[in-house]
């Protein structure tokens, strides 16, 4: 069984290197599409032995194996956001473990699609011989759904119409957690990309019978896997067909980037902002799967490029008025974070950004059989929890018994989405909200009976029969083994059979260590990183 192994905790938790002009993600993609042979082998895919791999261990001739696939990373050196020195640590060998330790979430298959040399001989992926397997890996028990997930999803297309509306429908699979990218080429031509499994894209191109308006409305039902794209017809009429469509299944497709700018920026705390990113040509609509992130890159003051991963949040958590094409982000400005400072500074708003399509490794289907959850978030680690909360509380099959969000911050002033979280708590008794503050006294308004008690000892009691109003409670403290024990002990009222955590690396590391010290099933734990 795989289990969590140690994660590097460098002094600087984000060893991000600014990339020289001409070395942005966009430039890398351009190079990949330029026809240049990035494999160095003429593009001929051939199995690579460990001995052969070991020969390519120089900066000017650098091969690297990740999860059984060998890539020539020579040309990627100066494009690597972590810097060439870091990338060099993995060359000439099977770097799976190293790669997973640093950034398991990075979509290397897309980024290096044009650098693929061939399969590593005698290697099977995922922790089997030849590969040390992922450092942070949550393995399913036989009864879970990951086995089913390995069967490729073949989406089924259908359409329906009203006089004024055309709906394109894609049936995927229950809990497939799809990503959707819709591009409007003009009023007749629409391109739809479905992201259903890692490194596979389902690309549809529609030539419609008649003109439609843009943008469309996208509706995805996570429980059924049904995706609906609703278009308003420019001239109301019933059509005899939707038009024509071509379909292509694309494996190991190269990463796509799109130009965005910051359309709206609202301060939410003393050092954080809610942003609405708007596609530059306004002809793009992107739906992010629950728990997935996008990579945002920008040129700093017209020079070096920096990229950073962010998890888009459901619009309802930051505004009641969000255009369908916007990507909503919550961004904390870090002292040494040149990108976050640029994104959150008051003016000018229209920073030019490049946004990747969503990527991630969160399998929603693993949550299917659980109905008691604990979410442990620290600071900006709240972001993946918001979409998860929306989905879980709305879920109709295997209705949720309770979800406990433990939200760790330094002070009250650092809490994100406080009002909305607390309103949700009042509205839905199944949602338990506990703020844990490490550096401040507790708010006077706190009505928690345990407000003055260190949280390491007491978590709020849940009493399903209580008629009292469900309220957020506050405590002073930090993550501790006691807290994790209270969440993982079966007789505890807060017992959660599935736990998710997200925060800065030291927080994640500590949580993982505490979980290891309990009997909690590691298959029932997900750590969002990035």
Sign of CA dihedral 205, 209, 213, 217: negative
Closer of 73 and 404 to ligand HEM (Cβ)? 73
Beta carbon nearer to ligand HEM, 133 or 443? 133
Gyration radius from the chain CA atoms: 24
CA–CA gap between residue 322 and residue 74 (Å, rounded): 42
Closer to ligand HEM by CB, 38 or 273: give it. 38
30-to-23, 45, 111, 199 alpha-carbon distances in Å: 10, 22, 12, 19
Give the burial class of 163: count Cβ atoms within 10 A of its Cβ; 0-12 exposed, 13-18 middle, 19 or more buried: exposed
- Could you give the CA distance from residue 176 to residue 221 in angstroms, rounded to a whole number? 10
> What minimum distance in Å lies between the beta carbon of 112 and ligand HEM?
5
- Of 72 and 183, nearer to ligand HEM (C-beta) is 72
**N-term to C-term CA, the chain:** 24
Minimum distance between the CB of residue 369 and ligand HEM, rounded to whole angstroms?
Answer: 31
Name the site residues for ligand HEM (rule: CB under 6 A): 14-16, 64, 73, 80-82, 86-87, 89-90, 95, 98-99, 102-103, 106, 108, 111-112, 295, 307-309, 530
- Write down the least CB distance from residue 142 to ligand HEM, Å: 31
Which residue, judged by CB position, is nearest to ligand HEM in the bound state? 82
Is 304:20 a contact under the CB 8 Å cutoff?
yes
- 190 phi and psi, to 5 degrees? -135, 135
- Distance, in Å, from the CA atom of 489 to the CA atom of 494, rounded to the nearest integer, reads 8
Q: Closer CB to ligand HEM, residue 190 or residue 298?
A: 298
> In angstroms, how far is CA 430 from the centroid of its own chain?
25
Compute the distance between CA of residue 66 and CA of residue 485 in angstroms, rounded to an integer: 36
* Closest distance to ligand HEM from the beta carbon of 293 (Å): 8
* Shortest Cβ 164–ligand HEM spacing (Å): 43
Beta carbon nearer to ligand HEM, 308 or 435: 308
Residue 128: CB minimum distance to ligand HEM, A: 19
User: CB neighbours of 337 closer than 8 A, spacing ≥ 6?
Assistant: 14, 308
Q: Which is nearer to ligand HEM, 64 or 196 (CB)?
A: 64
* Cis, peptide link before residue 348, omega less than 30° from 0: yes
Minimum CB distance to ligand HEM, residue 131 (Å):
13
Picking from 530, 526, 126, 206, the residue whose alpha carbon sits closest to that of residue 363 is: 526
Quote the CA–CA distance of 335 and 459 in Å, as a whole number.
33
- Pick the closer one to ligand HEM by CB: 111 or 227: 111
Q: Please state, in angstroms and rounded to a whole number, the distance separating the CA atoms of residues 451 and 459.
A: 10
Closest contact distance (angstroms) between CB of 106 and ligand HEM is 5
In the complex, minimum distance from the CB of residue 312 to ligand HEM, in angstroms, rounded to a whole number? 14
Q: What is the DSSP letter of 328?
A: E
CB nearer to ligand HEM: give 111 or 403.
Answer: 111
């Amino acid at each position: 069984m795989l289990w969590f192994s140690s994660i590097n905790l460098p002094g600087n938790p984000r060893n991000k290197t600014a990339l020289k002009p001409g070395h942005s993600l966009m430039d890398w993609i351009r190079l990949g599409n330029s026809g240049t042979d990035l494999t160095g082998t003429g593009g001929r895919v051939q199995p690579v032995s460990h001995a052969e791999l070991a020969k390519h261990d120089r900066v000017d001739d650098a091969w690297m194996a990740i999860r059984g696939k060998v890539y020539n990373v020579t040309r990627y050196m100066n494009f690597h956001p972590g810097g060439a020195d870091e990338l060099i640590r993995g060359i000439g060998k099977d770097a799976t473990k190293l790669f997973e330790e640093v950034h398991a979430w990075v979509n290397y298959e897309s980024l290096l699609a044009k650098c693929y040399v061939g399969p590593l001989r005698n290697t099977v992926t995922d922790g089997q011989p030849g590969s040390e397997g992922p450092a942070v890996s949550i393995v399913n028990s036989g009864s879970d759904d990951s086995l089913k997930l390995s069967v490729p999803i073949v989406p089924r297309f259908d359409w329906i119409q009203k006089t004024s509306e055309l709906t394109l429908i894609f049936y995927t699979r229950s809990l497939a957690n799809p990503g959707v990218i819709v591009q409007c080429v003009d009023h007749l031509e629409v391109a739809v990309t479905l992201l259903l499994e890692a490194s596979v894209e389902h690309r549809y191109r529609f030539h419609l019978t008649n003109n439609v308006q843009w943008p469309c409305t996208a509706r995805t039902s996570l429980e059924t896997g049904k995706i609906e794209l609703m278009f308003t017809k420019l001239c109301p009429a019933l059509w005899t067909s939707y038009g024509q469509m071509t379909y292509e299944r694309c494996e190991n497709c190269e990463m796509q980037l799109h130009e965005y700018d910051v359309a709206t920026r609202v301060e939410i705390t003393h050092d954080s902002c809610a942003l609405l990113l708007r596609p530059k040509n306004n002809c793009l609509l992107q739906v992010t799967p629950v728990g997935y992130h996008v990579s945002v890159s920008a040129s700093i003051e017209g020079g070096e490029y920096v990229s950073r991963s962010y998890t888009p949040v459901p619009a309802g958590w930051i505004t009641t008025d969000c255009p369908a094409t916007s990507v909503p982000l919550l961004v904390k400005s870090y002292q040494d974070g040149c990108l976050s400072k640029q994104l959150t500074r008051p003016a000018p708003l229209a920073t030019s950004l490049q946004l990747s399509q969503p990527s991630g490794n969160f399998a929603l289907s693993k949550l299917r059989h659980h109905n008691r959850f604990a979410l442990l978030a620290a600071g900006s680690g709240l972001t993946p929890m918001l979409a998860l909360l929306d989905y879980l509380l709305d879920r109709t099959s295997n209705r949720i018994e309770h979800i406990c969000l433990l939200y760790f911050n330094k002070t009250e002033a650092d809490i994100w989405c406080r009002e909305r979280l607390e309103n949700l708590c009042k509205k839905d008794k199944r949602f338990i909200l506990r703020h844990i503050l490490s550096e401040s006294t507790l708010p006077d308004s706190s009505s928690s009976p345990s407000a003055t008690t260190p949280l390491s000892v007491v978590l709020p009691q849940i009493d399903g029969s209580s008629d009292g109003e469900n309220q957020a409670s506050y405590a002073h403290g930090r993550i501790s083994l006691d807290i994790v024990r209270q969440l993982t002990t079966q007789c505890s009222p807060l017992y959660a059979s599935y736990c998710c955590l997200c925060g800065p690396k030291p927080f994640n590391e500590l949580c993982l260590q505490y979980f290891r010290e309990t009997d909690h099933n590691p298959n029932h734990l997900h750590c969002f990183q990035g």
